[in-house]
C-alpha cells in the first residue's frame, strides 16, 4: 500500500517505555493485555526509535508507561532524546521512584514532568490507586520537581469517587507549584471500560465540574493553566482524538508496536508494524493501521458531509469500536450519531449503579 502524498510528519510521540507500574488504577490507559518485561525493547532499540522520530519530524516525546522510571535506563534514554533535539516530557505515577532519579533526569536534560494524582487525601487517593502510601510518594516527588526548577503538570484523573473534589485538586496543584493542571475525565477504554459501572459520574456532577473549571480558570488566570475536556459519554461534539488519526502523533508500545493511538489495539483488522522490523518513517507513511482512518475517504456519509469534519476528524475510532462495534462508524459521542442517545443511556445507567468494587489493573 502506498501512502497518500499529503501526509504531514508527526509532532508528538508517546513512548510507553514499560507496562510495569506499582499502581493498580482501575482506569489505567494501558491495554488490558499488558506487555511483560521480557518482551520490552532494549535501550539501543529505544535510542534508535527516538533518533528516527526526530528525523521524521517529531518535536516532543512523552516518556510514559506504566511507570517509565521503572526502567533502569531512563536517564540514558532522556539524555539521548535531549542530545538528538527532542523535547522530553516525563509522565510518571511518581511512586517507587528511586531517590536521586529525578535529579539524574534533570541533569540529562529533562524538560517537563507530569504527575498523576487520584485525590487530595492519602487514604481516599490510595484506595483508588490500589496502593498504600502512593499519594504521599506523589506529593514528595512533586516537591522534588519544583526544587529542581522543572515545570510540573498535575494530571487529575476524574471519576465518580473524586469528581466533587475538582476544585480541591486544582488548588492542591497550585499549592504544589504546578503551572498546569489537566482535569482528565476518565474515558472508557480498556481497564476503564471494565470498570465503567464503578467509575461513571452522574451528568449533574460532570456539569458542576465543568462549571467549576470555568470559574477557576478566570480566578487563577496567570497562576495556573487548567486544561479540561468533556468526557465522551456526556459530550455533544466528539473530541478531535489524537489530533486526527495518523496526523500529528504516534505511540510506541513497550514491545515496539507502533500505534496511531494508545487504544488502537482494541480495533480488529488493523496491522501494527514493529520498530524492530521496519523504520519508523516507513510505518508512519505506509503502515496499514496509520492509513486505515487517514483523511476522509473512510468516513460514513454523515461525517464526510459534516462541516466539522476537518475540526474533529470524525472523533474517536476506538469509541466507535467500543459502542457501535465498528471503528468506521460515526463516533457515538457526536450528537448526530444514531447511537448518541444510547451512549447517554449507558452513562446514566452506569452512574446510577450501587457502589461496587474496582477491578484493579493487574497482569492477567
Nearer to another protein, 85 or 338 (CB): 85
Q: CB of residue 217 vs another protein: minimum separation in angstroms?
A: 11
Asked if 224 interacts with another protein (CB under 8 A), we say yes
Binding mask 85-124 for another protein (x = CB under 8 A): x-x-x---------------------xx-x----------
Binding to another protein in span 174-193, by CB under 8 A: 179-180
Which one, 57 or 100, has the nearer CB to another protein?
57
Question: What is d(CA 167, CA 151) in angstroms, rounded to the nearest whole number?
Answer: 21
- Least distance from C-beta 248 to another protein, angstroms? 10
C-beta of residue 152 within 8 angstroms of C-beta of residue 142: yes
List the interface residues with another protein, window 321-350 (CB under 8 A): none
Q: Which is nearer to another protein, 11 or 237 (CB)?
A: 11
- The minimum distance between CB 13 and another protein, in angstroms, equals 13
Helices of type H across the chain: 43-56, 74-84, 101-108, 122-129, 134-147, 166-176, 190-194, 196-199, 203-219, 280-286, 288-292, 301-304, 309-312, 317-324, 340-351
The phi, psi pair for 185, rounded to 5°, reads -65, 135
Task: Please identify, using beta-carbon distances, which residue of 250 and 267 lies nearer to another protein.
Answer: 250
Q: How far is CA 289 from the centre of its chain?
A: 19
Residue 257 per-residue DSSP state:
B
Contacts of 238 (CB under 8 A, 6+ apart): 232, 312, 314, 315, 316, 319, 331, 333, 334
Torsion (CA) 69, 36, 86, 225 in degrees, nearest 10: -60
State the burial class of residue 9 (Cβ atoms within 10 Å of its Cβ: 0-12, 13-18, 19+).
Answer: middle
Contact 333, 175 (CB under 8 A): no
- Closest to 199 measured CA to CA, from 212, 190, 210, 211: 190
Cα gap 294→67, rounded to integer Å: 31
CB of 55 to another protein, least distance (A): 8
| Rounded Cα–Cα distance for residues 193 and 200 (Å) | 10
Shortest Å distance, C-beta 119 to another protein: 23
- Minimum CB distance to another protein smaller for 23 or for 91: 91
Shortest distance, CB of residue 320 to another protein, whole angstroms?
A: 26
d(CA 279, CA 120): 44
Contact with another protein (CB under 8 A) among 32, 203, 208, 225: 225
**In the complex, what is the shortest distance from the CB of residue 274 to another protein, in angstroms, rounded to a whole number?**
24
**Site size toward another protein, by CB under 8 A:** 24
Binding mask 140-159 toward another protein (x if CB under 8 A, else -) reads ---------xxx-x------
Q: Which of residues 23-82 bind another protein (CB under 8 A)?
A: 56-57, 59-60, 62
Residues making contact with another protein (CB under 8 A): 8-9, 11, 56-57, 59-60, 62, 85, 87, 89, 111-112, 114, 149-151, 153, 179-180, 221-222, 224-225
Amino acid at each position: 500500500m502506498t501512502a497518500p502524498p499529503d501526509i504531514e510528519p508527526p509532532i508528538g510521540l508517546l513512548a510507553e517505555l514499560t507496562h510495569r507500574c506499582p499502581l493498580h488504577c482501575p482506569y489505567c490507559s494501558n491495554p488490558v493485555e499488558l506487555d511483560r518485561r521480557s518482551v520490552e525493547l532494549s535501550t539501543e532499540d529505544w535510542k534508535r526509535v527516538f533518533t528516527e522520530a526526530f528525523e521524521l519530524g517529531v518535536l516532543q516525546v512523552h516518556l510514559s508507561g506504566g511507570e517509565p522510571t521503572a526502567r533502569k535506563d531512563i536517564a540514558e534514554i532522556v539524555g539521548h532524546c535531549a542530545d538528538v533535539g527532542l523535547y522530553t516530557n516525563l509522565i510518571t505515577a511518581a511512586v517507587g521512584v528511586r531517590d536521586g532519579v529525578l535529579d539524574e533526569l534533570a541533569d540529562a536534560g529533562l524538560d517537563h514532568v507530569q504527575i498523576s494524582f487520584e485525590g487530595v487525601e492519602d487514604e481516599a487517593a490510595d484506595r483508588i490507586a490500589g496502593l498504600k502510601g502512593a499519594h504521599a510518594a506523589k506529593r514528595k516527588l512533586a516537591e522534588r520537581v519544583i526544587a529542581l526548577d522543572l515545570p510540573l503538570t498535575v494530571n487529575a484523573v476524574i471519576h465518580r469517587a473524586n469528581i466533587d473534589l475538582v476544585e480541591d485538586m486544582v488548588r492542591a496543584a497550585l499549592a504544589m507549584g504546578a503551572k498546569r493542571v489537566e482535569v482528565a475525565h476518565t474515558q472508557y477504554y480498556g481497564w476503564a471500560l471494565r470498570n465503567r459501572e464503578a467509575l461513571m459520574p452522574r451528568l449533574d456532577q460532570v456539569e458542576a465540574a465543568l462549571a467549576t473549571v470555568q470559574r477557576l480558570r478566570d480566578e487563577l488566570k496567570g497562576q495556573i493553566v487548567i486544561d479540561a475536556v468533556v468526557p465522551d459519554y456526556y459530550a455533544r461534539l466528539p473530541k478531535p482524538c489524537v489530533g486526527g488519526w495518523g496526523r500529528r502523533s504516534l505511540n510506541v508500545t513497550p514491545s515496539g508496536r507502533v500505534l496511531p493511538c494508545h487504544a488502537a489495539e482494541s480495533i480488529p483488522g488493523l496491522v501494527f508494524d514493529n520498530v524492530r522490523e521496519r523504520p519508523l518513517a516507513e510505518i508512519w507513511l505506509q503502515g496499514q493501521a496509520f492509513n486505515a482512518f487517514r483523511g476522509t475517504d473512510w468516513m460514513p456519509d454523515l461525517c464526510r458531509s459534516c462541516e466539522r469534519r476537518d475540526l474533529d476528524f470524525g472523533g474517536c475510532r476506538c469509541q466507535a469500536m467500543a459502542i457501535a462495534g465498528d471503528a468506521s462508524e460515526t463516533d457515538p459521542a457526536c450528537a448526530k450519531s444514531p447511537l448518541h442517545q444510547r451512549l447517554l443511556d449507558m452513562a446514566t445507567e452506569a452512574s446510577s449503579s450501587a457502589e461496587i468494587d474496582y477491578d484493579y489493573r493487574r497482569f492477567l
